[in-house]
Structure 1
Amino acid sequence: MGDIGRRGFMRGATFGALAFSVGGVEVLMTPHEARARNVPFRLLDGHQGETLEALGETLVPNAREAGIAHYIDQQLSVPAQESLLQARIFNFRPPFAEFYRKTIMTVDDGSRKLFGKEFAQLEAKDQREFVDRMRQNKVEDWKGRPAALAYAVLRADAVDVVYGTMEGYEALGIPYMAHIAPEKRW
């Protein structure tokens, strides 16, 4: 982040931009832009990214396009105390990557057992059914943290990436604080 500078980082953070590594250089962009530019993942592999996108999209429409996998990957690469991931908010012990990887693996295992395919390959209705089972802790042989907790964390991450931006605030009809004069803020 040293290449960006504190001011550039703070300006970018105001607009939902995060530091992504492109060709060895830190570049500020939104997770949506990182996805659109096909920025390589730092810690996740392609399959993990694809599964996170499918899960995110099932939990919160537009999460795939908003860059859920790039958001999670980027946040896994920062020091745990700086992470914006819900795993941190839920007081999970770092490293958070362990939770996300185990959840992805368990989702795929459960999906294969239930539908004969990995989660990202399922039809949307089957993805919704599987996620509903997660929500209710009704996925057989679930490993790791309870399925309902994994559901809550991933759903909150998807909400953050879709609605935690200026565009997200606009879509919800909420004025974004950067557009409001300081004297008119709460």
Structure 2
Amino acid sequence: MNKNRPGCTRPDRRDALKAAAGAGLLAFAPEAALAAGQPAPALDTRSASLWSLWLEALVPGAAQAGAADYLQAQLALPRDHSALFLRYMDWPGDYRAFYRDGIRAVDVLAQVRHGQGFAELDAAARGALVGEIAAGAPSPWVGPPAGLFYFVCKADGADLVFGTHAGFKQLGLDYRAHVEPAGVWPRRA
């Protein structure tokens, strides 16, 4: 219960972070990047890797298309230049926090349901977890709204895998963009 907001039954952010830390899920930006004077990645390596696995569970082919690198690159851009679907949802909060907290919530839920993290689950367990999150009200869930996280990530995955010349070709369709993308993202041709 959130002690700072009377009547609020949601856990507060501190409780969520304590739970994640207790589960060993908090990781920080790589020291090497900071020591080299480079900006830290938007997400730590573990979170980016988990997001890639999560996206692959939502849209097969997303991991091969470079999901983790795509997210890192998009989060490094100013909000008004991002191609992430979250932009079109008018999300008022921090984009990095949305994805970071969402993937941590997925991993915590996997730990609670299956006794292991999302990365260790087999395809059937991942699918069951995806279904529960898509329904919008898994418990415990401490992150952005679960249904919104699912919806936004699935749209991001669809854009990454199918929103390109190669993706349209894979679907057997002609690519007819209303506005031609400024650059080519996917690793595959």
After TM superposition, the score normalised by the length of structure 1 is 0.71
SS where residue 64 of structure 2 aligns? helix
SS where residue 42 of structure 1 aligns? coil
Query: Corresponding residue for 2:61?
Result: 62
* Aligned counterparts, 1:100-111, within 5 A: 100-111=99-110
SS where residue 171 of structure 1 aligns? helix
Query: Corresponding residue for 1:151?
Result: 150
* Rounded Cα–Cα distance in structure 2 between residues aligned with 1:94 and 1:144: 12
Q: Return the structure number with greater strand share.
A: 1
After TM superposition, the score normalised by the length of structure 2 is 0.70
Bigger Cα displacement from structure 2, 44-53 vs 128-137: 44-53
Q: Does 1:44 align with 2:43?
A: yes
* Rounded Cα–Cα distance in structure 1 between residues aligned with 2:74 and 2:61: 19
Query: Corresponding residue for 1:23?
Result: none
* Rounded Cα–Cα distance in structure 1 between residues aligned with 2:93 and 2:81: 12
Question: What is the identity, as a one-letter code, of the residue corresponding to 1:90?
Answer: M
* Closer, same or farther: CA 133–151 of 1 in aligned 2, 3 Å: same
Mapped contact 1:63–1:161 kept (Cα < 8 A): yes
Show structure 1 runs of 4+ deviating over 3 A. Answer: none
* Aligned counterparts, 1:140-179, within 5 A: 140-177=139-176
RMSD: 1.9
Mapped contact 2:58–2:157 kept (Cα < 8 A): yes
Question: What is the identity, as a one-letter code, of the residue corresponding to 2:41?
Answer: R
Give the share of equivalent positions with the same residue, in percent: 34
Mapped contact 2:104–2:143 kept (Cα < 8 A): no
For this pair of structures, how many residues does the alignment match? 140
Query: Corresponding residue for 1:117?
Result: 116
